[in-house]
Each structure stands twice: as structure tokens, then as C-alpha cells.
Amino acid sequence: MTTYPAIIKDIRRLLNDTPLEDQVTTAPTTTAGTTMVVATIGAWRAGQWWEFQDGDATGAEIVYVSSVEESTSTPTVRRAFKGSTAVTHSNNAYAAQEPRFTYDKLKQAVDTALDRDLYANDVYAITTHQVTYSTSSWAYPAPSATCERLLNIYQFPADTDEPVPIVNFTPYTAGDATLWATGKRFSLYENPAGTGGIYYVNCAHKPTITTLSTAQEKLVHFKAAAYLLEWEEPRRAAGPANQGDQTVRVGDQARLGAYYNEQFMRGCRDEAAYLKRLTPSRRWFKRGT
């Protein structure tokens, strides 16, 4: 299981975004505080901005350096710069000098990949739910509103038995939320356990940061990197004053982004095939009578 700070660190490494870091030995004591003590005052200059590297714990606040007192290793800063939020930081936290990509932009790229791209390319998290057999209806609500696709269903007639696959079921369909709490329903027509029992339902869920497998995490690396490069390219192409690193030619970002997109798509095909092997499709449908 990964976290946003961990996956963002990996993406920064992939994009060679390795800014100078310094330790804030005495952080501001309140969200309104404007002075702090740093380990290497020579690295701090008025007019710079620095981003705290404490990630989700405090929101990665950015501060703008308004002045520096070298004799006491004390920069005076303006809080909540670049739309970030002023928060309390722990002493000895690290800050990065003007990283190429801010934490918030990196998180946006990761969230976009999770929300838009993985599930759309048949990459998902397999989640198992338990559903209790109903004696009064063939129809059941989806176990969770986050269930996107019903993969397979099985039962254990007894604890020591092999699981019995259920093949007579319908996929999820939209259902009136006043009747089906999750807004989705499915039907099944078998009950090998007799008058009772539990169904084990495997569903496809959109991946989240906490459900990513190692292989899926690498896919997010590639897709988020592609997004970041694509988002940066229009600014670079706007003119010399906006190009930042003059050693990179206009169009290089887009080409590198296309390469990462290609790696993402190739990885998605492999991962989708692997997931399909785990939950082969076996569905029969029964006509209503």
C-alpha cells in the first residue's frame, strides 16, 4: 500500500525534479508565524519560494522568502504562497527550494490518473464483499456504491469444501436509490448452500491510492508524469520568457510525455490481461417467468 507522499517522491525522481532541500530546525509555531530557523541559511535568499516536504500531513505549504537574517539563520517568510494553506509544521521538517512541480500539481496528476485512466483501461482493484442469501428476492443491492463491475460470485457450502462458483447472475445495473441503497442492483438465481448461506462477491473498483498494487503504482508513475509534461508544454511554447530551463527545446516535453503515455498503455494491457486471468468471466442468464 502506497501513500501520496511516497508516490509523489517516485514521480519526482522519474522526472529528475530534485530541488535543493534544507532543514527547518525551528518551524513557525503558529499558522500566522512568519519567522523560522533553518540549517543552511546561505541557501535562502529574498524572492525565493520554498515548499515544505511534509506532504499530506500538513498540505505541503509553500512560503515566500521576504527577507533573510544571516546572523541568526532566520528567514522571514510570507505564508500560504501560491494558493497553498498555512499550517503548523514540526521542527526539523524539510523544505525544497522552488521544485519544478509543486506537491499540489503532482497530487492533481496522480488523482487524474486514478479517476480517469486506470479503470478506463480495464485496470481495477478486485474487492471481495459478502452478501447474505435472501429468501424473498432474486435481486440484491450492490454491496457498495463504489462497485463498478461484478466479476464473479461463489459460495462455500461448508468451511472445508471447495468454493462453488455461481454462474447464474446478472451484472450491475442502475437502481432507484430509494429502493437500492447503493444505487445499483444485481440478480442471482442459485443457492448451493440451501436455505441460507453467504455469497462472496468479487467486484471491480476504481483503484485508489491505498489499493494500488505494485504494478498499478508504476502505471500511475507513467501516466502522472505524462500529464505533468503535457501541462507544462504550452507554457514552454509560449515564448522565451516562459520557458524556464532554456536547455530543453520546445516540444521535448511533449515527446517525453508521449513516451510515458506509451509505457502506460503497454502496462495497462499487461495488467488488464493479468486481472482477467484472476477472475474469468462465467455468466449465465435466466429469463424471468
Q: What is the pLDDT of residues 214-264, one digit of tens each?
A: 999 999 999 999 999 999 875 554 455 444 555 555 567 888 999 999 999
Give me the amino acid identity at 264. F
Q: What is the pTM of this model?
A: 0.85
Q: Band of the pLDDT at 30, cuts 50, 70, 90?
A: confident
**Which residues, listed in sequence order, are joined to residue 93 by a DSSP beta bridge?**
24
| Contact yes or no for 152/165 (Cβ under 8 A) | yes
* pLDDT at residue 284, rounded to an integer: 53
Q: Give dist(CA 156, CA 73) in Å, integer.
A: 67
- Is residue 60 scored above 60 in pLDDT? yes
Closest CA to 57 of 30, 87, 35, 31: 87
Q: Band of the pLDDT at 286, cuts 50, 70, 90?
A: low
* pLDDT at residue 92, rounded to an integer: 94
* pLDDT at residue 13, rounded to an integer: 94
| Contact yes or no for 155/199 (Cβ under 8 A) | yes
Find the range with the poorest average confidence among 164-168, 200-204, 209-213, 261-265.
Answer: 164-168
Please state the rounded mean pLDDT for residues 22-43. 94
Which CA distances in Å does 224 have to 20, 46, 91, 111, 132? 23, 32, 31, 8, 40
| CB proximity list for 219: less than 8 A, separation 6 or greater | 113, 118, 123, 264, 267, 268, 271
* pLDDT at residue 160, rounded to an integer: 67
Q: Give residue for cell 508504476.
A: 218
Query: Which residue spans within the chain are E strands per DSSP?
Result: 21-26, 37-38, 49-52, 62-69, 74-78, 93-97, 125-132, 139-141, 147-155, 164-166, 173-174, 184-187, 198-205
| Contact yes or no for 50/98 (Cβ under 8 A) | yes
* pLDDT at residue 238, rounded to an integer: 47
Q: Give residue for cell 455469497.
A: 199
Closest CA to 212 of 144, 279, 113, 143: 113
Q: Give dist(CA 105, CA 115) in Å, integer.
A: 15
| Burial of 52: CB neighbours in 10 Å, binned 0-12, 13-18, 19+ | buried
Q: How far apart are the first and last CA of the chain?
A: 47
Q: Band of the pLDDT at 282, cuts 50, 70, 90?
A: low
Closest CA to 7 of 55, 75, 61, 39: 55
Grid cell, residue 269, equals 494491457
